Structure 1
Amino acid sequence: MPRTAPLQRLEAPYRATRYRVFLPTATEDLRIGRPATAVDDWLRLHGCRQGVIVTACNPRSLPLGVAANRRLQSALLHLLHAMPHPMLPACNIACDGLWPEEHSLMVAGLSRGEARRLGARFRQNAVVWIERGRAAQLLWIVQRPLPTGR
């Protein structure tokens, strides 16, 4: 079985997930392939061209318990507090309701490389990449899944 086979099953659920960002004055649900106007405004306010939504929960999309995810997310938050990047709380919400909500963070100003390294450090398959004025996209940490023909 090719290395990417297990990831093929993740692309559709990742794309169907709502990535909710808790902005100071509003909440915006990002979707892959769609622009995020309120997040764009927040990035602009902080002088940043791009941002990333990242979680430490459920590494490699293997479900962990609440306590383990809380510890991992706390480690992510601790690491990010040591960096000079503005951030906001966020939450990844599976639209099918079959996957638990995951706490995440919206971080402004990271480069693509920094975003990938951060995701890799917490064993994530992908992070959500946002560039002002463009549609949100999945930034794969591990090798990107092959198209399934659908």
Structure 2
Amino acid sequence: MSKTSLDPTLIQAYRRTRYSADLGGEAIVLRIDVPSVVVAAAIQASSSPGAAFITAENPYSSPNSAQENAASMALLKGELEALGATVFEGVGQGDDPAWPGEASYLALGLSRDQACLLGRKYQQNAIVWIGVHGTPELVLLR
């Protein structure tokens, strides 16, 4: 794992999170390092370099109001679409019941660099990158 300023407990929480999305009518749940045949097929069918599971909610894991989160998510969706990504609604739900699930997007058609830039722009600690083989990877941004 690369050098990071993130607390190891937070990283483990991200690794245990269930990343769920509705992929064109098919409900999927992604787990870090567990391949998804469905997502791999979608990526390959779109001839894209990969996909990202990304949010703009709660920058640096600091809770924002529902209004702030909704506004940030709308901006992120606009940027994803402007980059030509196909965007699906999703939720990242951790094991801690005290922390509500975060609205997210599964975006097909991004490069890893584009996904990381957007994650940093929206002050996220990490994104989930899924390459052509469909294995979700936790990418730490700090």
With normalisation by structure 1, the TM-score equals 0.85
The CA distance in 2 between the partners of 1:6 and 1:44, in whole Å, is 33
Q: Does 1:34 align with 2:34?
A: yes
Task: Tell whether the 8 Å contact from 2:57 to 2:72 is kept in structure 1 after alignment.
Answer: yes
Shift of 1:25: 2.8
The CA distance in 2 between the partners of 1:105 and 1:59, in whole Å, is 15
Aligned length: 140
The percentage of aligned residue pairs carrying the same residue is 30
Q: Does 1:55 align with 2:55?
A: yes
Match of 1:105 in 2: 105
The CA distance in 2 between the partners of 1:87 and 1:47, in whole Å, is 15
Match of 2:19 in 1: 19
The CA distance in 1 between the partners of 2:121 and 2:110, in whole Å, is 15
Task: Tell whether the 8 Å contact from 2:21 to 2:27 is kept in structure 1 after alignment.
Answer: yes
Task: Tell whether the 8 Å contact from 2:37 to 2:134 is kept in structure 1 after alignment.
Answer: no
Match of 2:76 in 1: 76
The CA distance in 1 between the partners of 2:77 and 2:5, in whole Å, is 31
Match of 2:90 in 1: 90
Secondary structure at the counterpart of residue 7 of structure 2: helix
Instruction: Report the aligned-residue RMSD.
Output: 1.7
Task: Tell whether the 8 Å contact from 1:32 to 1:137 is kept in structure 2 after alignment.
Answer: yes
Match of 1:131 in 2: 131
Change (3 A) 1:5 1:133: closer
Structure 1, unmatched stretches of 5+, are 143-150
Structure 2, unmatched stretches of 5+, are none
Runs of 4+ residues deviating >4 angstroms: 3-6
With normalisation by structure 2, the TM-score equals 0.90
Point out the structure with the larger strand share: 2
The CA distance in 2 between the partners of 1:134 and 1:80, in whole Å, is 20
> What per-residue deviation string (whole Å, max 9, x for no partner) do you get for residues 81-129 of structure 1?
2221222111111123221111111112222211110100000000001
